[in-house]
């Protein structure tokens, strides 16, 4: 979750997993690391996540994520 995304990550998570489950190939694909924000979690989930001793972080890269969303949307319009 905190490591940089490289081609192998995309291959593992998208090409070899999600695309395989969906039976598709040659799709736009990117991996965004996401975020952990305890203040947005339900109390029971927050307690569980805090037990893992993970710090809050935000690696979503919103501008890149939104640009990718527009790229995907454009394939349907």
Tens-place pLDDT, residues 14-30 = 999 999 999 998 888 88
- The sign of the torsion formed by the CA atoms of 12, 15, 21, 22 equals positive
- Within-domain flag for 2: no
- Within-domain flag for 1: no
pTM of the predicted model as reported, rounded to 2 decimal places: 0.63
CB 1 within 8 A of CB 52: no
- The sign of the torsion formed by the CA atoms of 10, 6, 60, 57 equals positive
Tell me the CA distances in angstroms from 9 to 12, 38, 40, one per residue in order.
5, 26, 27
Q: Which domain holds residue 65?
A: 7-74
Say if residue 10's pLDDT is above 80.
yes
How many domains is the chain built from? 1
CB 33 within 8 A of CB 2: yes
Q: Which band of pLDDT confidence, cut at 50, 70 and 90, is reported for residue 4?
A: confident
């Amino acid at each position: 979750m905190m490591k940089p995304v490289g081609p192998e990550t995309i291959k593992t998570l998208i090409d070899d997993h999600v695309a395989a489950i969906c039976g598709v190939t040659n799709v736009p694909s990117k991996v965004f690391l996401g975020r952990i924000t305890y203040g947005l979690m339900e109390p029971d989930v927050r307690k569980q996540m805090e037990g893992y001793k993970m710090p809050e972080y935000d690696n979503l890269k919103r501008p890149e994520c939104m640009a990718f969303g527009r790229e995907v949307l454009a394939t349907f319009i």
